[in-house]
Amino acid sequence: MQHFLSIESLDAATLLRLLDDAAWLKAHRRDATVKPLAGRTWALIFTKSSTRTRVSFEVGVHELGGHAMFFSGNDLQLGRGEPIRDTARVMGRMVDGAIIRNDSQADLEEFAAFSGIPTINALTELEHPCQVLADLLTIKERLPDWRRSRVCFLGDGDCNMARSWIWAAAHLGFELVIAAPGDFQPPAELVRSAGSGGITVTEDARAAVAGCDVLYTDVWVSMGREAESARRLEILQPYQINRGLVEASGKTPLVMHCLPAYREKEITGDVLEANAGLIFEQAENRLHAQKAVLRAVVGG
Ligand code: CP
Ligand code: NVA
């Protein structure tokens, strides 16, 4: 695997290998012999805010023996209009890999093509593959028969998280229900091209959660969508994960959130706190999953 640009571009075997390696790295976190990034420098280029992704990548690069340099959008000439392909060619001659968070999957892919160095998607407008990998690791740890599980994604069904979930379900074959209002559903064409077998999209949140093993949500207002806040908060209200919706699943589902969480919006504070053990394990798993990605792209 040369890059990690999306879940869409992966396949089941690669995902399963990454998950196994993430579990191994988690169990051997302090193993001083695992240093595939020794002597290497990685750049983090983030034009959007981050807590989990930035911290987990900086720590992960360090634990694997490498050095991480962080650049916000304003630190680089990129912020003053230097083309992505020029930035990529400079970086490619100096650093060994790049981890990019931006608002353009196309720019990320251009960087990967022009830099010649391993490039990792740390969130774009289209996908958040690192998060879904950590989520799958978390589910796999809790549900032995996880590939037969039924996952419900509630809220903005057309955001980067929902899209990465769609591709994960398409590759791995578990059932995915997206519960979202009409204006916030993934394009039918996308669902079709993912192979719509196990993926359903509905406006009915209560029906969607019935029989689900996992209830998953993300912020209703993704970064860059702030101008639409008021409308989103109103339209998405019926998709809030609250006690009633958890009970409507008819199970004791895993309640997951990629974080940051906005209490009383996409999830109530009581449900979040009742599931905090799982949700913060999910956050920690970012570190282990991304170390597996780093190791895979350097061939270590
Ligand atoms: N879930 C996630 O990516 O969190 P950050 O935006 O804090 O990195
Ligand atoms: N959909 C969210 C994910 C945050 C981790 C966003 O893009 O802001």
pLDDT tens-digit readout, 138-166:
999 999 999 999 999 999 999 999 999 99
Q: How far is the CA of 220 from the centre of ligand 2 (A)?
A: 9
pLDDT over 80 (residue 278): yes
Per-residue DSSP letters for 144-182? Answer: TTGGG-EEEEES-TTSHHHHHHHHHHHHH--EEEEE--G
The DSSP H or E segment spanning 120 is strand 119-121
pLDDT, position 197 = 76
Same domain, 112 and 142: no
Instruction: Look at residue 109 and tell me whether its pLDDT is greater than 70.
Output: yes
Q: Are residues 144 and 267 in the same domain?
A: yes
- Active-site residue among 40, 52, 105, 131? 131
CB-CB contact of 145 with 29 (8 Å): no
DSSP 100: E
Which atom of ligand 1 is nearest the CA belonging to 258? 1
253 and 140 both lie in a single domain: yes
Tokens describing residue 214: 């996992």
Is residue 188 in a domain? Answer: yes
Quickly count: other Cβ atoms within 10 Å of residue 72's Cβ.
16
Per-residue pLDDT of 47-66, as tens digits, reads 999 999 999 999 999 999 99
Atom of ligand 2 nearest to the CA of 225: 8
Residues 172, 243 within the same domain: yes
Please tell me the distance from the alpha carbon of residue 268 to that of residue 262, in angstroms, as a whole number.
8
In a shared domain, residues 87 and 161: no
Whether residue 204 is found in the same domain as residue 66: no
> pLDDT tens across 210-267, in order?
999 999 999 999 999 999 999 999 999 999 999 999 999 999 999 999 999 999 999 9
| Å from CA of 176 to ligand 1 middle | 22
Q: Is the CB of 53 under 6 A from ligand 1?
A: yes
Provide the domain count of the chain.
2
The C-alpha atoms of residue 39 and residue 61 are separated, in whole angstroms, by 11
**Residue written as token pair 């998060």:** 131
Is 257 annotated in the active site?
Answer: no
| Region for 216 from its dihedrals, namely left if φ exceeds 0, alpha if ψ lies in -120 to 50, beta otherwise | beta
Look at residue 105 and tell me if it is in a domain: yes
Q: Containing H/E element for 41? A: strand 41-46
Q: Which domain holds residue 229?
A: 130-282
pLDDT beyond 80 at 36 = yes
Please tell me if the CB atom of residue 112 comes closer than 6 angstroms to any atom of ligand 2.
no
Residue 56 CA to residue 250 CA, distance in Å, equals: 35
Instruction: State whether 124 and 150 are in the same domain.
Output: no
pLDDT of residue 196: 61
**Backbone phi, then psi, for 270, in 5-degree steps?**
-70, -40
Whether residue 203 is found in the same domain as residue 264: yes
152 is catalytic: no
Q: What is the pLDDT of residue 300?
A: 77
266 lines ligand 2 (CB under 6 A): no
Is 52's C-beta closer than 6 angstroms to any atom of ligand 1? Answer: yes
Asked, for residue 6, whether it belongs to a domain, the answer is no
Looking at residue 73, what is its pLDDT? 87
- Clarify whether residues 93 and 182 are in a common domain: no
- Nearest ligand 1 atom, CA 48: 6
169 lines ligand 2 (CB under 6 A): no
Ligand 1 pocket, mutate which of 47, 132, 165, 259 (most atoms under 8 A from CB): 259
Ligand nearest to the CA of 51: 1
Domain assignment present for residue 4? The answer is no
Distance CA 47, CA 92 (A): 19
- Does residue 7 belong to any structural domain of this protein? no
Rounded to the nearest angstrom, the distance between the alpha carbon of 55 and the centre of ligand 1 is: 9
CB 170, CB 10: distance < 8 Å: no
Residues 167 and 262 reside in one and the same domain: yes
Asked, as a colleague might, if the bond just before 260 is cis with ω within 30 of 0, I would say yes
Mean residue pLDDT across the chain:
97
Residues 90 and 205 in one domain: no
CA angle 142, 143, 149 (to 5 degrees): 135
Is there a single domain that holds both residue 164 and residue 273?
yes
Closest CA to 202 of 244, 171, 259, 157: 157
pLDDT exceeds cutoff 80 at 299: yes
Helix (H, G, I), strand (E, B) or coil at 225: coil
Q: What is the pLDDT of residues 94-107, one digit of tens each?
A: 999 999 999 999 99
Determine which one of 105, 163, 258, 290 is catalytic.
258
Q: Is residue 1 part of a domain?
A: no
Residue labelled with tokens 């996908």? 127
Listed in order, strand segments (DSSP E) in 173-286 are 175-179, 199-202, 214-217, 254-257
Mean pLDDT of 5-12: 98
Chain segment 117-132, per-residue pLDDT in tens? 999 999 999 999 999 9
To the query of whether residue 258 is one of the catalytic residues in this protein, the response is yes
CATH number of domain containing 226: 3.40.50.1370
Active-site residue 135, yes or no? Answer: no
For a pLDDT cut of 90, what percent of the chain falls above it? 98
pLDDT (tens digit per residue) in 68-83: 999 998 999 999 999 9
- 258 Cβ closer than 6 Å to some ligand 2 atom: yes
Would 134 be classed as within a structural domain?
yes
Tell me, what's the pLDDT at 212?
A: 98
- Classify residue 158: in a domain, yes or no: yes
